[in-house]
Structure 1
Amino acid sequence: MRSFHGIGLFILLLFSASISGQIRHPKASPFSSVTQDIGFTTITVDYSRPAVRGRQLFGKLVPYGRIWRVGANESTKFTTNTTVNVLGNTLEPGTYALYAFPEEGSWEIAFHRNTSHWGDGRTDYNPSEDAFRIRATPKKEADWQENFLISFDSIHHNGALMEWKWGYTVVSIPLEVDTQKAMLDTISSSLKENPTAQTYYEAARYLQEESLEPEKALEYVQKAIDLGGDTYYFYRVRSLLQASLGDYKGAISSAERSLQLADAEGKDEFVRMNRENVKKWKKWVKENKE
């Protein structure tokens, strides 16, 4: 009797599973998400990654002249936490759907406010809901990309390239952010509130990296040294600033001090970088004497 009841329960469970749910299976175009910091801006793109699988891509699998969801499954979502400039167009903080209208020689790309459409939203898509559209020229690369890929490259404090790669085709979209204004405002306010040696160093380092106000940056790094003492990275930035102002003898002296301090702490990378700069600047001084 117990055996009968056990078999009956097993059959009942199988029957219930068959009518109440479906078998979970992996997606042919798996979900992916890429997040990139650009200065103080954080951008996230959520999308799915279809594979080529031997098919002809653009003009066939992705027809020319028709809307494409920039991936597969749900529409691709682009989220930014600050204002982004895209080829002269202002994109306010928020989430947008990305759509493309590929053609053989040029693509039209839409940043779309309505993120509720499934897939490409072909029947519901309304151009009036675009934040804006831009044009981009697709290029061919030597390296093959089997699964559609969205990535970021050429990243600096104030911008980056968002790149779409599939097969041999690459589309690059330049993004710009105003990190400089935010950073200069931060420096100004920080230097008014009991600045430390590190505060002055960080201010000097940013100005040096961005080639801004080298004389002021040199004052800041000197204050960092006065307050914080001899530190290899203080003297490293000082040497770079002096070189940018044409004071190569001063730059050599600062680099040699940075090298000495870095060597004492086992900072091999800074030893190497300083040694290379000393060699380069000594050569410049010698050539300009003759």
Structure 2
Amino acid sequence: MRYLVSILLILLALPSAAQITHPKASPFSLVEQEVGLSKISVAYSRPAVRGRTIFGQLVPYDRIWRVGANESTKITLDTDMKVLGNSLAKGTYALYAFPQEDKWEIVFHTNTTHWGDGRTAYDPAEDALRVTVIPESIPYFQENFLITFDAMTHNSVEMIWIWEQTKVVIPMTVDTHGAMLSEINKQLQENPTAQTYYEAARYYQEQGMEYPLALDYLNKAIALGGDTYYFYRVKSLVEAALPDYKSAIKSAQKSMALAGIEGKDEFVRMNQENIKNWNTVIKN
């Protein structure tokens, strides 16, 4: 017994085997994108082409793919969204794909515990959503697999996958407009400030809607908050959209003067350009 205890003590005293941390062949990446008031996050690994043929060989057709490398790719939505018009509840999903030569099936999967593609453990009954997209050939070469976002508006975005010379676009939408209208109504009913009225008016102006209401809100913002270059800047844009170009020019001139006092040269230039354009419209 003493002999065993002595051996154990000797083993415990020995230095532990050295562990070498290797750089990953497919580095981890996290991409986050705001869409209106919402956010999409994608955590994935980025394998490289390294001279190989990717789709149809390294990534076989008609078989599940983890959309990257290492553990499964995860996508997190912080609010309900739609993917190609199909509803998808907020939450975290494993992203999978079933590539084919002429079409891909994209899967948002509720089971996020599988390593990689979970090949034999994958159960289609656990899919939250499956949609079909058409892959595109691109005229340039992408060495490392890339997930990015583009074509953003307040209410929509395209999630884009690019690798080798293949591109996949997945349109997504969110009801930012409905959320904004609810928030505007809530804030205006409580204790609205000059900034409250301005933010509501600016949103309507950006969306190209409710111009008379936006003008009313801007007048209230100026009455409560005083003269500011950005209040008058948005007011000029709303008046031009009504269209009331003479009033728009007066508001732009006011905005330009106030911006000049504060050293906001870019607003001076933008107002000058608008005044020039609106004077041309009046003359014609």
Q: Deviations 1:80-127 (Å, cap 9, x if unpaired)?
A: 111011112111111101111111221110111111111111111111
Instruction: Give the distance between the partners of 2:174 and 2:229, measured in 1 at CA.
Output: 32
Q: Larger deviation: 101-110 or 136-145? A: 136-145
Residue 278 of structure 2 corresponds to residue 277 of structure 1: no
> C-alpha displacement at 1:144, in angstroms?
2.4
Measured at CA, do residues 39 and 51 of structure 1 come closer, stay the same or move farther in structure 2, by a change above 3 Å?
Answer: same
Amino acid aligned to 1:267: K
Instruction: Give the distance between the partners of 2:263 and 2:134, measured in 1 at CA.
Output: 48
Q: Which residue of 1 aligns with 2:140?
A: 143
Instruction: Give the distance between the partners of 2:222 and 2:98, measured in 1 at CA.
Output: 56
For residue 261 of structure 2, the aligned residue among 253, 261, 264 is: 264
Residue 214 of structure 2 corresponds to residue 217 of structure 1: yes
Instruction: Give the distance between the partners of 1:63 and 1:269, measured in 2 at CA.
Output: 53
Amino acid aligned to 1:77: K
Q: Which residue of 2 aligns with 1:5?
A: none
Amino acid aligned to 2:174: V
Q: Which residue of 1 aligns with 2:70?
A: 73
For residue 90 of structure 2, the aligned residue among 89, 93, 112 is: 93
User: Any idea what SS the aligned residue of 1:108 has?
Assistant: strand
Instruction: Give the distance between the partners of 1:140 and 1:259, measured in 2 at CA.
Output: 48
Q: Deviations 1:179-213 (Å, cap 9, x if unpaired)?
A: 11111111111111221111110110011111121
Amino acid aligned to 2:221: A
Q: Which residue of 2 aligns with 1:133?
A: 130
Amino acid aligned to 2:170: I
Instruction: Give the distance between the partners of 1:175 and 1:121, measured in 2 at CA.
Output: 26
Q: Which residue of 2 aligns with 1:30?
A: 27
Q: Deviations 1:232-284 (Å, cap 9, x if unpaired)?
A: 10011111111111111111111111111111111011111111111111111
Instruction: Give the distance between the partners of 1:27 and 1:168, measured in 2 at CA.
Output: 23
Instruction: Give the distance between the partners of 1:275 and 1:140, measured in 2 at CA.
Output: 44
The two structures have a TM-score, normalised by structure 1, of 0.91
Instruction: Give the distance between the partners of 1:187 and 1:255, measured in 2 at CA.
Output: 26
User: Any idea what SS the aligned residue of 2:190 has?
Assistant: coil
Instruction: Give the distance between the partners of 2:135 and 2:276, measured in 1 at CA.
Output: 43
Residue 237 of structure 2 corresponds to residue 233 of structure 1: no
Instruction: Give the distance between the partners of 1:34 and 1:246, measured in 2 at CA.
Output: 42
Measured at CA, do residues 279 and 143 of structure 1 come closer, stay the same or move farther in structure 2, by a change above 3 Å?
Answer: farther
For residue 204 of structure 1, the aligned residue among 198, 201, 214 is: 201
Amino acid aligned to 2:133: A
Runs of 4 or more above 6 Å deviation: none
Q: Which residue of 2 aligns with 1:17?
A: 17
For residue 54 of structure 2, the aligned residue among 57, 71, 74 is: 57
Q: Which residue of 2 aligns with 1:169?
A: 166
Instruction: Give the distance between the partners of 1:278 and 1:140, measured in 2 at CA.
Output: 45
Q: Deviations 1:49-70 (Å, cap 9, x if unpaired)?
A: 0011111111111111111110
Instruction: Give the distance between the partners of 1:279 and 1:140, measured in 2 at CA.
Output: 44
Q: Which residue of 1 aligns with 2:185?
A: 188
Q: How many residues align?
A: 274
Instruction: Give the distance between the partners of 2:135 and 2:278, measured in 1 at CA.
Output: 43
User: Any idea what SS the aligned residue of 2:195 has?
Assistant: helix
For residue 249 of structure 1, the aligned residue among 238, 246, 253 is: 246
State percent identity of aligned pairs.
63
5 Å matches for 1:101-140?
101-140=98-137
Instruction: Give the distance between the partners of 2:272 and 2:135, measured in 1 at CA.
Output: 43
User: Any idea what SS the aligned residue of 2:253 has?
Assistant: helix
Q: Which residue of 2 aligns with 1:4?
A: none
Instruction: Give the distance between the partners of 2:141 and 2:158, measured in 1 at CA.
Output: 19
Residue 149 of structure 2 corresponds to residue 152 of structure 1: yes
The two structures have a TM-score, normalised by structure 2, of 0.92
Instruction: Give the distance between the partners of 1:131 and 1:212, measured in 2 at CA.
Output: 35
